[in-house]
Amino acid sequence: MNATTTTPVRVSATDALGTIGAENVHVVDQLRDTSAGTLDAAAERLQRAERVFVLGAGRSGLALKMTAMRLMHLGLDVHVVGEVTAPAITRGDVLLVASGSGTTGAIVRAAEMAATVGVGIVALTTDGGSPLARLAEVTVVIPAAAKQDHGGPLSEQYSGGLFEQSVLLVGDALFHTLWKASGATAEELWPRHANLE
């Protein structure tokens, strides 16, 4: 039997939603106050890319796949690392990568390889001093709890939930910035939406 047991706490789904929403608002407010220039630099770097490759592990990777879809709707040449149709990454491309800790082995190794061929790296992480951040041309430091920060002051959520939600929000903000800068209407983007569903 586990020596460290806790007493169950009854939390309604509505209360949980309020907690999650409040934590996300707090992250957004901090990013707006401290990272506005960095977010704009990330958007500008994506805009200049010949192709965009996205990479993240687990739920962070799933959030970046949503960003990849939006960037594709915008008309960018986008690839998800690890998909069988993803080509080789080369100079002129950008790797958009997420790792809460900035130390995830496979993610850091991929970024190292990308850096050796002269690829621009845009990193989303909670640790601006991490190996991933040191490889990046642009690092967006997300003020959220890292995956192993259980019960810390930054989030009540389980195992990196706030970071992963923030990756989605930052990805949508980058897309929205590029979309508005393009002058394209939603109707002009819509034909790129998948029609084999």
Amino acid 132 reads L
Q: Is 156 a catalytic residue?
A: no
Catalytic residue among 44, 83, 112, 164: 164
Tokens of 75: 């008309």
> How far apart are the C-alpha atoms of 16 and 72, rounded to whole Å?
33
Collect all residues with Cβ–Cβ distance below 8 Å to 40 and sequence separation of at least 6: 177
Pairing status of strand 52-56 against strand 138-141: unpaired
Tokens of 106: 């496979």
Q: Which helix (H) or strand (E) holds 139?
A: strand 138-141
- Alpha helices per DSSP H over 57-196: 58-73, 105-116, 131-135, 161-182, 186-189
Give the chain's radius of gyration (CA, Å). 18
Catalytic residues: 164
